[in-house]
Structure 1
Amino acid sequence: MSGNVFIPKLKKEEETEPAVHASVVTEKDDIGSLLHRMSQYIIIALFGLLPVFFTPGLWASLGFDKSVLALVAVGIVMILGGLLALRKSQVATIMPLTLALFWVAVVIAYVSGSLSGDAQDSLRGSTFEIHTASFTALLGIVMTIPLLFQGSKLMTIKALTFFTCTGALLLTYNVLRVIFGADFLSFDTFNAVTVSPLGGFNDLAIFAGMMVILGLVTLIQLPLKAVLQYAIAGLVMVALVLLSIVNFFNIWIAVGFFALLVLLYLLSRDKLFKGPSASASSNPRVLIGVTTLVCLVSIVFIVAGDYAGKRMSDLTSVDFVEVRPSLEATMNIAQAVYNGNALLGIGPNRFADAWRQYKDPSINETIFWETDFSAGNGYVPTLFVTTGLLGGVLVLVFHLGFLYLGYRMLLRSTQRDSYW
């Protein structure tokens, strides 16, 4: 080439090594999966067996038997969970705010019990009574271990299914005992119709009300086959029958109010809540029919409970009366306790002591003059006496938060999966 032509000297392209894509193979932790799965199945067994578990003859009390079952199951789950944690470099979970509030209430119960003057009775009691601080802690643990179900839809469905099956078995068993008498399948333990593997008749009424609510929620949320829909509807009917026999007014209020809200929701959710119509998840005739029936029965027992209860008592030959302090009497005891310690109360499991000290003198002129009530009008009102304003308010806020969580799940959830 001519000299006046510039020819650039190009840099020789460096040879590059061919890219090597290393495939990282993540080994599946079979042992960790086994430990996790074992923990989940133990939790499923615990929640399914608790309503029906008892030891023939009873060791100490029915509540003590169930507490022992829960303690054994919780202990095994905690051991398996500890072994599982050793195989994890990091563990992530979500602690609901409502659960955290309950654990604060557990701490308050222990502080109140330690300062009560009778620490042993407050913290442990004689047979692990339900108002002791240790039982409150057991409740917190039982509510916490289901966090192992996070991210596992299948295990959650299995737990609810097993609980529903054992609940149906329990309700059917009690209906049969009402029909055939107290000698039917008494197991030498339940010598009266008013006593069951769950506890007394009021305990059974609470459980029956819960099964009614659970059945309605199931019919609303899940796209079940017709056979399962009718099975759930039948379970709701059995629960209604038992609730009618017991005739627990407070439960009728809760069940009736919830059923009314459900009925209004079914009639307006495609317009007001911008949700799918009733036919999208269940047979509208079954769903609306069952909900309407629950509403009507609840209204009858709320408005004419004495008459309806007497008719059911005459029909079944079952007479049941449980005597307990009224709400006013419970609040009067709380007011007297607050004069000494308003924040922490008299101490867990010490309502009987407060009753002896502060009961209305006019009660001494009745047949209940020597009756020492171990609890007040209800579980939460009793907490206002035993754990003071701190414990009572925390548990009350816990319940309100739990209700709000249910509202968000049922009405404001953006999750499209009906099973999750």
Structure 2
Amino acid sequence: MFSRFSFSSQDRSYDKSALWIFLALFILAAVVVIPNTIFPIFSTKITILALGSIVALVLYVLARYSVGNISLPPLLLIGALWSVPLAYGLSTVFSGAPLAISVFGHSFEADTFGFLFLMGLVGTLAAFIIEMPVHYRHFLRISAILAMFIFVVQALFIIVHYIYPNAISPLLSVLGSWSDLTLFSGLVAVMVMLAFRFIPLTRRAKWYFGVLLAFSLLYMIIAYSIATWVLVSITALGLFVESVMRRVTPFSQRADTFIEVETEDGVAVADVETHEMVWDTDAPSYSIVAPLIVLVVSLFFILGGAAISGTVKNTLHINFLNVRPSWQSTMRIEHASYGTTALFGSGPDTFTKQWLLLRNKSINATPFWNTNFTGGIGFIPTSFITTGIVGTIAWLFLLVALITVGIRSFIVKEYENTSLRTVSLIAFLGSLFVFLELIFTVPGPISIAFGFLLLGIFISTLRYRKNSNTRVISFMESPRASFSVIFILTLFLLVFLAGAYMVVGRYTAQVYLTQSQKNLYVGNISAADSSALNSLRFAKSDDAYRTRAVIAATAVRQLERTATSTSPAFQKQIQSILSQGIANAQAAIRINADSYINWFALGNLYQIAIPLKVSGSYVAAQSAYFKAASLNPVSPLILYTQAQAAVENRSYADANSFLKKAIALKQNYTQAIFLLSQVDVQLGKAKEALTAAQSAAYFSPNNPYVLFQVGVLREATGDMSGAIPVLKRAITINPKYANAHYFLAVAYANKKDYKKAITELKAIVKLSSGNERTIAPIIGALEKGVNPFHKSSAKNLSSGTPIKTSSGK
């Protein structure tokens, strides 16, 4: 029966190697967790998966050279599978998005042509390499072991974090994220229910799968996802109804063809002619307990499980937040995007650009006002935006083809035996589950890879439908055909080997870049710049160039803080660093001019040059910021930064305008309100300044700097009685706030309460002995009953408190 797939052991060696290397590296990609933070977890997983797929492809091609033929499964779903990478390729070419971003993303993101091409390769390899019934048995065994391993290791992570909270991050997940663990748990629950229903299991196997099911439900409870619960409940309901309604008939067998044997998995039937294992899936011993339990638990958590999930997470000290744009926001972005980029979309991995460009300003009233979302409500809806109508058609074609072929396979068609039908059903429902999840969630790359792997296995099992249109193409008998096929296969080999080289280079660059950012965070400027430069040697990216620009800005600020003189040599050193930083920022813009962050980094460098009196620096900074604002038009942060630059240039009217626009976008923007009060002081608008400061205090009642400003401005307007309680509140929050003590003493002195004024001034001396020379004459005057302070304008009063442009001051 399977003679069409039978070759000599030597001929099959390449095929076996391809199979086991493919599965081994897929498993490694799924479970690898590297504690060292310089190795990005998702990039590491994708790199391993890509290398495993390419090596497996090379071995498969070598096997075809050796064997001289190719066995093709039904090609409809192969075409549907590749329609999505094709759509991403068309979008990459015609959308106008930066090529490097569309192909690889910033760090191997899933919404890229490169990743979807890899998924097409994974699905195709699974369809061609995992082709024999014994392969399916290996796959199911490995899947069960892999699921248990992932669940147990994740449980160990939770236990260790619970006992030693600082040892392991609560966000650590074997699969990369808790979103991935949720999807994987739902997938395992579906496959376990199918195993209970259609595979005869021993008592030991039933316990094993029962534990798997319990783990699945536990992780689904912890990382609550309504979409996962709904999909699992639908599967459970279908299996429960099918189990109840199906009439179980005794199993009949042909004595001359089959014999019943005992296996460690339960009852099986051996085909005497083929020696392949055939499960007795018509036996009457199936349990409906598993789908019933899952159905009841699912309905409970669908109706009101979010609160319980929160309680469980708090008990286990697992705190994570999975925030994505809503359906409404995603659809709004899609509708607006289609107005200008309908056919090919905005380009792969450009959702962030579209989000920032088209989002509603109401987002500024939420805690996520400054969050650059990389995806919408789900992976597939995100793809609709980035790949346009072409991508939408491709995804719909894949889903419709999968569902249509699946329904026909299990209702109209018959399989050569029931065990193959069971494997096909598990692969079909598993892949469909993952793809439906992609509509509602944005998982990591490994979860998406599971879906394409199962799709490939489902395509592979279609060979075994009766009267299937499976073809075996032999190309060794015809010299012309042999040359053509070998040429094409060799071309594929060269292309994929080049792809492997590029993947390794990109991954190495990503590791160096992560190391650079880590060094920059701890203040090691030279090491950070060296690592960023190494990153650029392996792959040019706007992220690496921008990081070098940020490093330059940080280096200048460090020199300014530690400088003991402003000699010409010092000025030349500063200008040299700034010039290098500006060149790197401009290089980042050349690679990706659609990223507002690149323009923002350029503006920051020009802004640093403003106090150095570099000609044209203020105009250049504002020009870069205006370009950033055009790419992120509802960001109050950009306007606030423009105001900071205006203050440093003493362009207070410009600063006033920028700050009012920022506050109009975000009415509770405390930093902007506080800075506006200081700008108004410089413009001689004491009353307006006081109003702005009091608004800032309303939104930040425990910010001592804001309270201090309110107190100073009340003193400036002659309201000493109103200034005193506010300044006392600032001192209560920050007892070491010397300026607050000083202006509280001023208020007391103007109220002729010299005793309390002296107390505040003595507190300043206690904070630092260096203040004694300045404070001593003031205390002496107060002890003589003389007020050394005089009521002055707000501008004079605030002169002792320079305008601070850093956040929160």
Query: Do both proteins adopt the same fold according to a TM-score greater than 0.5, normalized to the shorter chain?
Result: yes
Give the structure 1 partner of residue 229 of structure 2.
252
Distance 1:330 1:275 in 2: 53
Question: Cα deviation per residue 1:298-336 (whole Å; 9 max; x = unaligned)?
Answer: 101111123332343344343332111011111110111
Question: Cα deviation per residue 1:30-85 (whole Å; 9 max; x = unaligned)?
Answer: 43211111111112213333321233425542111111111111121121122112
Give the structure 2 partner of residue 129 of structure 1.
109
Pair 1:215-2:195 in alignment: no
Give the structure 2 partner of residue 43 of structure 1.
22
Instruction: Compare 310-319 and 327-336 and name the one that shifted more.
Output: 310-319
Q: CA deviation at 1:264?
A: 0.6
Residue type of the partner of 1:226? R
Higher RCO structure, 1 or 2 (CA under 8 Å, sep 6+): 1
Give the structure 1 partner of residue 157 of structure 2.
177
Q: CA deviation at 1:405?
A: 4.3
Distance 2:37 2:135 in 1: 32
Pair 1:197-2:174 in alignment: yes
Unaligned runs of 5+ in 1: 1-26
**Residues 62 and 197, structure 1, Cα contact 8 Å, conserved in 2:** no
1:358-369 matched pairs, under 5 angstroms: 358-369=358-369
Give the structure 2 partner of residue 9 of structure 1.
none
Q: CA deviation at 1:292?
A: 0.9
Distance 1:282 1:166 in 2: 29
**Residues 48 and 163, structure 1, Cα contact 8 Å, conserved in 2:** no
Give the structure 2 partner of residue 14 of structure 1.
none
Give the structure 1 partner of residue 789 of structure 2.
none
Query: Structure 1 pair 54/100, CA: closer, same or farther in 2 (3 Å)?
Result: farther
Distance 2:403 2:38 in 1: 36
1:18-97 matched pairs, under 5 angstroms: 29-57=8-36, 59-97=38-76
Matched residues, number:
386
Give the structure 2 partner of residue 138 of structure 1.
118
Which is richer in helix? 2
1:140-155 matched pairs, under 5 angstroms: 140-149=120-129, 151-155=131-135
Give the structure 2 partner of residue 112 of structure 1.
91
**Residues 224 and 281, structure 1, Cα contact 8 Å, conserved in 2:** no
Q: CA deviation at 1:96?
A: 4.2
Query: Structure 1 pair 304/126, CA: closer, same or farther in 2 (3 Å)?
Result: same
Query: Structure 1 pair 58/175, CA: closer, same or farther in 2 (3 Å)?
Result: same
Distance 2:339 2:85 in 1: 23
- For residue 270 of structure 1, the aligned residue among 247, 251, 270 is 247
Distance 2:284 2:349 in 1: 46
In the superposition, the TM-score normalised over structure 1's length comes to: 0.84
**Residues 18 and 129, structure 2, Cα contact 8 Å, conserved in 1:** no
Query: Structure 1 pair 397/185, CA: closer, same or farther in 2 (3 Å)?
Result: farther
Query: Structure 1 pair 307/267, CA: closer, same or farther in 2 (3 Å)?
Result: same
**Residues 229 and 298, structure 2, Cα contact 8 Å, conserved in 1:** yes
Q: CA deviation at 1:280?
A: 4.0
Give the structure 2 partner of residue 373 of structure 1.
373
Residue type of the partner of 1:313? K
The DSSP-based 3-state class of the residue aligned with 1:371 is coil
Query: Structure 1 pair 359/281, CA: closer, same or farther in 2 (3 Å)?
Result: farther
Query: Structure 1 pair 181/169, CA: closer, same or farther in 2 (3 Å)?
Result: same
Query: Structure 1 pair 182/142, CA: closer, same or farther in 2 (3 Å)?
Result: farther
Distance 2:154 2:318 in 1: 12
Residue type of the partner of 2:200? P
**Residues 162 and 317, structure 2, Cα contact 8 Å, conserved in 1:** no
Query: Structure 1 pair 211/309, CA: closer, same or farther in 2 (3 Å)?
Result: same
Query: Structure 1 pair 297/179, CA: closer, same or farther in 2 (3 Å)?
Result: farther
The DSSP-based 3-state class of the residue aligned with 1:107 is helix
Give the structure 1 partner of residue 742 of structure 2.
none
Query: Structure 1 pair 47/224, CA: closer, same or farther in 2 (3 Å)?
Result: farther
Question: Cα deviation per residue 1:176-230 (whole Å; 9 max; x = unaligned)?
Answer: 33344267799x8xx3233212011111100000000011111222122221122
Residue type of the partner of 2:43? F
Give the structure 2 partner of residue 401 of structure 1.
401
Residue type of the partner of 2:53? V
Instruction: Compare 88-97 and 214-223 and name the one that shifted more.
Output: 88-97
RMSD: 2.6
Distance 2:8 2:36 in 1: 45
Distance 2:247 2:384 in 1: 42
The DSSP-based 3-state class of the residue aligned with 1:72 is helix
Distance 2:64 2:341 in 1: 42
In the superposition, the TM-score normalised over structure 2's length comes to: 0.45
Pair 1:236-2:187 in alignment: no
Q: CA deviation at 1:352?
A: 0.3
**Residues 14 and 60, structure 2, Cα contact 8 Å, conserved in 1:** yes
Distance 2:311 2:165 in 1: 26
**Residues 148 and 212, structure 2, Cα contact 8 Å, conserved in 1:** yes
- For residue 137 of structure 2, the aligned residue among 130, 153, 157 is 157
Residue type of the partner of 1:146? A
Residue type of the partner of 1:222? I
Query: Structure 1 pair 137/144, CA: closer, same or farther in 2 (3 Å)?
Result: same
Query: Structure 1 pair 183/263, CA: closer, same or farther in 2 (3 Å)?
Result: same
Give the structure 1 partner of residue 415 of structure 2.
415
Residue type of the partner of 1:371? T
Instruction: Compare 252-261 and 51-60 and name the one that shifted more.
Output: 51-60
Residue type of the partner of 1:233? G
Q: CA deviation at 1:168?
A: 1.1
Distance 2:402 2:203 in 1: 31
